[in-house]
Structures are given as structure tokens and as C-alpha cells.
Structure 1
Amino acid sequence: MLRSSPRALLIFTRNPVPGKCKTRLAATIGEKAALDIYVFLLRHTAAQCTGLEGVQKMVYFSESPGDGVIWDTEIFEYRLQQGTDLGMRMQHAFEDAFKSGYGEIIVIGSDLLDLSTADLENAFELLSDNEAVLGPAQDGGYYLLGLTRPVPGIFHNKSWGTKTVLKDTLGDLKNFRTALLPVRNDIDQYEDIEGNPVFEPFLNKE
């Protein structure tokens, strides 16, 4: 696909397969409920990204390309993640985007109920005046990372999924102009959805 914008949004997602997504959440509420919640979050993310204009949108699947049901192929370009851990997979995706000529690149996950189109627009606008933008997550990681040029080591030596990721990433960015977005809560375990009425229908199914 030809590049149509200097801005690229990389959306990292796991294929919605029982037992292979939201495993920490599934440990508490069961695989079926966890899968239903994940599909709900995927649809939410797709809707928010669809409303983003002037940006090339690429969905990076964990195992195999989607079937077009959630991610409209007229809007999203399909890619496969490459690498043995999350850091390597994101590094490969950023390298590919930079080589393709994009100058403002943002990566997000697909499990953030709080994410809106306005958040994504704001993140790209911040990249107009900064070299990096970071969206801190409540668990000590990040839900969004944007770069205008490669940052050595930013995807290396991280304990992915732990509370040290944000701190270590900010250390990698200490010499870069970096903007921070509001702290948000991504959905990884039961505590992340507990008490939220949005998720009650998924938990009360017979």
C-alpha cells in the first residue's frame, strides 16, 4: 500500500482466540467471559481509530491476519508482528514504518476502554512539537508510545508487563523532548474491570 500520510498508527492486537488472550483476566472470570470482553475492547479500539483522519492505520496481529469483521480492510492495513517478545515486535514495526517514510509514528494496544479518538488526535499533535509522546498506564507500563525518530534501546531490556516499564522507558527518553498524556487504565486483570458497569453484562451471563 502506498504511503498516504507522514503519520502512522500501529495497533498491536492479539487474535481473539480462547485461552490465548486476556489470560490473567480469564484466570478469574473464565475464558469465555474474558474473550467476550476482549472482543468488545477490540471493537471499541477499532471504532476510535476509524474516526482518526489523516493517518495511515496498520493493525499488527499476533498470529494471523484478521477476517475483516472487526478491522475494516478499507480502513486498516493488515500486518503480522515479528519478534520473540513485545519489545522486538514493536521495534520491528517502528523500523518498518520509519523506513517507509513516516515521520510521526504511534503504537497503541487494543485493550483500553478509556481510549478515544480525541486522545489519538492529541497525541499526534504533541508529536508536532516533541520527539516522543508517552501515555502512562496505571500499572506502571504505557498504553501509547509515539516517536518522530528512533530512540536507541527503547525496546530493549524491559520486563514487559511489569510496573518498571514506564520508568525504564522514561529513562531511555531523558535526552528527548517528551510529552506525557493522562494516566489511563488498560484492561489486564479482574481488578481493572471490577465495579465498572460496562463489563457487568459479560460477567452475568449464564
Structure 2
Amino acid sequence: MPAEIPHLHLLAKAPLAGLAKTRLSPLLGLEGAANAHAELVRHCVANACKALSAENVTLWTALDHAHPLFTELRETFGVTLSAQPDGDLGTRVRHALNSTPGPAMLMGSDCPSITSALISTCAQQLTSFEVVILPAEDGGYGFVGTRQDYPALFEDIPWGTQSVLTTTQQRIETLGLHAAYPATIWDVDRPEDWQRWKGLAVSM
């Protein structure tokens, strides 16, 4: 039997000035930071839809579910839009992963280093491993894939700290799961990350 194609979920805030990518504001201003966030979301959705058909991609919205950016992405790519539920990051990640049957993957919308080829690699790895994670340079991770529901992977994790990945790896070991870590990625949080991304974008 051919391997089941996993569904890919993306989490994204609406690009509202003062509420999105505020750590970029010293470089870009609040409006510029929001515009940068919109650019990153567009890039990540485009990469997702290069790797998988749009019917296998859901964009989970926050802050303003009817924002024009989300409507644009649905009309351009044909992705499904869903509203993120209340709760911490772990609650929202687990909810998204369990919202579709079969294997599922989830990524942030601020990781331009996750290419379409890397998404395809992760999907392939998920046929052999129960969990696939792309560690981030800052000690977290920007992508997770699971074959079924593992609640402990997302409960009581110190989100937003440098120990997210190590805590998650300890859980994986405790649960006796086999995990793959195909590549280390980076996300865009700080002004220097944005400059790194724009430098790469110019050279691509």
C-alpha cells in the first residue's frame, strides 16, 4: 500500500501592527514588522503548497480570522482556513494535529528556512518514525510531525524557552518513541534574523 500522505498544519497570526512580530519593530517599526510577518506567512504557505496539494494544507488563524491576508491565501492557494482554539501553544498544536485523520505535520509561519524539499523529506520520514522534528537554532523547534496522538509531547512544555527541544526529546524517550531530526532550522524573531532572511532571499 502507498504511504498515507500526511496533512500539514500552519499556525499564523493576522499581521496586525503591534501584535505581530513586535521584536522586529526596532528595525522595521510596528507597521513594517506586521508587513514582514505577512510576507513570511505568504512564503511559508507557498512552500507548503509546493510540497503538498492544497487539500492537505490547513492554515490556522489567530487575532483576526477574517483578515484579508487569510482570504488572499485561501483564494490564491486553495488552503483550508481554521480558527486556532484558546489555550497555550501545546494545546493549539495538539488540537491542529488531531483535527485531521492519519499522520499530521505542523509548522510555524515564521520559518522561511523550512523549504518545500524539507517538508517533503519530513513527510517521507514520517512513514518510518513515530515523530519527526526540525530543531531550531534557538532551542525550540519549528516543525513537528506525528503518526498519532501523543498528549505528553505537548503538555507542560516550557514554551518560548531554550529548553523546549530538550524537554520534548526527554518525553520522546520516556514514551519509547522513535524520532527523526532531518535538519536544524531557524525562524525569524529578531532584526538580525530578518536581515539573514532578506540576504538569503536576495541571493536565491
Q: TM-score, normalised by structure 2?
A: 0.86
Paired with 1:17 and 1:198, the residues of 2 have a C-alpha distance of 25
Equivalent position SS for 1:30: helix
Cα shift at 1:94? 2.0
Cα shift at 1:53? 3.0
Paired with 1:195 and 1:87, the residues of 2 have a C-alpha distance of 28
Cα shift at 1:31? 0.7
Q: Tell me the residue number matched to 1:158.
A: 157
What is the identity, as a one-letter code, of the residue corresponding to 1:154?
A: L
Paired with 2:164 and 2:194, the residues of 1 have a C-alpha distance of 22
Q: Tell me the residue number matched to 1:204.
A: none
Cα shift at 1:74? 5.5
Cα shift at 1:122? 0.4
Cα shift at 1:76? 0.6
Q: 1:10 to 1:196 in 2, by over 3 A?
A: closer
Paired with 1:200 and 1:75, the residues of 2 have a C-alpha distance of 25
Asked if structure 2 preserves the Cα contact closer than 8 Å seen for 1:83 and 1:92, the reply is no
Q: Tell me the residue number matched to 2:134.
A: 135
Asked if structure 2 preserves the Cα contact closer than 8 Å seen for 1:46 and 1:71, the reply is no
Paired with 1:112 and 1:74, the residues of 2 have a C-alpha distance of 19
Paired with 1:73 and 1:193, the residues of 2 have a C-alpha distance of 25
Q: 1:130 to 1:58 in 2, by over 3 A?
A: same
Unaligned runs of 5+ in 2: none
Q: 1:197 to 1:7 in 2, by over 3 A?
A: closer
| Greater share of helix | 2
Unaligned runs of 5+ in 1: 202-206
Asked if structure 1 preserves the Cα contact closer than 8 Å seen for 2:112 and 2:197, the reply is no
What CA deviation, in whole Å up to 9, does each residue of 1:38-90 have, x standing for no partner?
11111111211121235611110013144321343662111011122111111
Q: 1:129 to 1:196 in 2, by over 3 A?
A: closer
What is the identity, as a one-letter code, of the residue corresponding to 1:38?
A: H
Q: 1:51 to 1:200 in 2, by over 3 A?
A: closer
What is the identity, as a one-letter code, of the residue corresponding to 1:186?
A: D
Q: Tell me the residue number matched to 1:62.
A: 62
Q: 1:92 to 1:73 in 2, by over 3 A?
A: farther
Asked if structure 1 preserves the Cα contact closer than 8 Å seen for 2:73 and 2:79, the reply is no
Asked if structure 1 preserves the Cα contact closer than 8 Å seen for 2:21 and 2:33, the reply is yes
Paired with 1:114 and 1:38, the residues of 2 have a C-alpha distance of 15
1:186-197 maps to which residues of 2 (within 5 A)?
186-194=187-195, 197=198
Paired with 1:29 and 1:74, the residues of 2 have a C-alpha distance of 28
Paired with 1:96 and 1:197, the residues of 2 have a C-alpha distance of 34
Q: Tell me the residue number matched to 2:92.
A: 89
Q: Tell me the residue number matched to 1:80.
A: 83
Q: 1:177 to 1:85 in 2, by over 3 A?
A: same
- Kindly report structure 1 stretches of 4+ aligned residues shifted beyond 6 Å: none
Q: Are 2:127 and 1:124 equivalent residues in the alignment?
A: no
1:20-39 maps to which residues of 2 (within 5 A)?
20-39=19-38
Q: TM-score, normalised by structure 1?
A: 0.85
What is the identity, as a one-letter code, of the residue corresponding to 1:84?
A: G
User: Which moves more between the two structures, 37-46 or 189-198?
Assistant: 189-198
Q: 1:197 to 1:90 in 2, by over 3 A?
A: closer
What CA deviation, in whole Å up to 9, does each residue of 1:69-122 have, x standing for no partner?
13436621110111221111112222322xxxx221000011112121111110
Paired with 1:7 and 1:105, the residues of 2 have a C-alpha distance of 5
